[in-house]
Amino acid sequence: MNCKICGSNGWINKEVRTIPDKYEKWMGIEDVKKRWRKCLGCGVWHHLRNYPLEDLEKIYSDGYRDERFRGETIGQAFLRLYNISEVESENSRRIDWLLNSSSLKDPGNMLDIGSGLGIFPIKLKKAFNIDVETVEFNEDSIELLRSHNILCTKEISDKKYDTISMTHVLEHIETPVEYLLSLHKYLESDGKLFIEVPDAIEFELLPPIHDDFNSCHTHFYDTGGLIKTLNRGGFETIDIHREHYKQRNLHRIMAVCRKTQ
């Protein structure tokens, strides 16, 4: 099997896991055999499983924000994270980097994909004094976003944006290059993309059962692997940053890139 990112067929394999995690259990997937493996060509980690990803994907619309699954309502989760101190807030750290360090000083007309609780687009709207449109599949998330006067739809509208943002979305996409290429028609000719993903350094720092390695995640990237993936998807990286969120002891990669095709 060749790498979907670079075409290489050289791999480093991690251990095989046969115990379903909470996401698989919620979706009734009990027969599990999966492992992570790293491509020696581009450095991207791929998640292999013995069932089609489609069997799991319904969790995004049916369960991902469910109180029975999360242990709190979506409203409770929003208030808990929105009111967290600026020092502890991961959303505030993202926006600080965009405002002070990145090459995205003026996002212009902006779309946020996979907005979840909506805290990031709400804070973006306030920090940059812009309107931010959002896309979400989960009905609870859509209702929450709309209650905060954020335009939210299930499909990307047929228009052009100056900037698209995706925070913790790309690691859920089984075919990331194809997905990135599909975004081009929604971006202006000089359009930009802001993205954040988990850092593959976590394979060295976290236990194998950590939630970062859950069944919903299809790929892990280091900086080089992310740049190569973005490049294959028609984006040139113009600023990239590794972030350590100390409160949860998690490592992330943020990048700003421009459309090249």
Q: Is residue 28 part of a domain?
A: no
CATH assignment of the domain containing 229: 3.40.50.150
Q: Identify whether the C-beta of residue 208 lies closer than 8 Å to the C-beta of residue 15.
A: yes
DSSP-assigned states of every residue in 57-97: HGGGTTTTT-HHHHSS-HHHHHHHHHTS-TTT-HHHHHHHH
In a domain, 37, yes or no: no
Q: Helices 119-128 and 90-100 sit at what angle, rounded to 10 degrees? A: 30
Helices (runs of H) and strands (runs of E) counted in the chain: 10, 11
Structural domain contains residue 153: yes
Determine, yes or no, domain membership for 254: yes
Instruction: Tell me the residue range of the domain where 145 lies.
Output: 84-259
Query: Is there a contact between 111 and 156 (Cβ–Cβ < 8 Å)?
Result: yes
Structural domains of the chain, count: 1
Q: Which two tokens stand for residue 146?
A: 């709309």
Structure confidence by residue, pLDDT tens digits, 22-41? 999 999 999 999 999 999 99
Tell me how far CA of residue 141 lies from CA of 61, 119, 153, in angstroms.
9, 11, 10
Q: Counting Cβ atoms within 10 Å, is residue 71 exposed (0-12), middle (13-18) or buried (19+)?
A: exposed
Does the pTM surpass 0.85? The reply is yes
- Determine, yes or no, domain membership for 206: yes
CA angle 11, 197, 81 (to 5 degrees): 145
Q: Provide the residue-wise pLDDT of the chain in tens; the chain has 261 residues.
A: 889 899 999 999 999 999 999 999 999 999 999 999 999 999 999 999 999 999 999 999 888 889 999 999 999 999 999 999 988 999 999 999 999 888 888 899 999 999 999 999 999 999 999 989 999 989 999 999 999 999 999 999 889 999 999 999 999 999 999 999 999 999 999 999 999 999 999 999 999 999 999 999 999 999 999 999 999 999 999 999 999 999 999 999 999 999 997
Domain-located, residue 148: yes
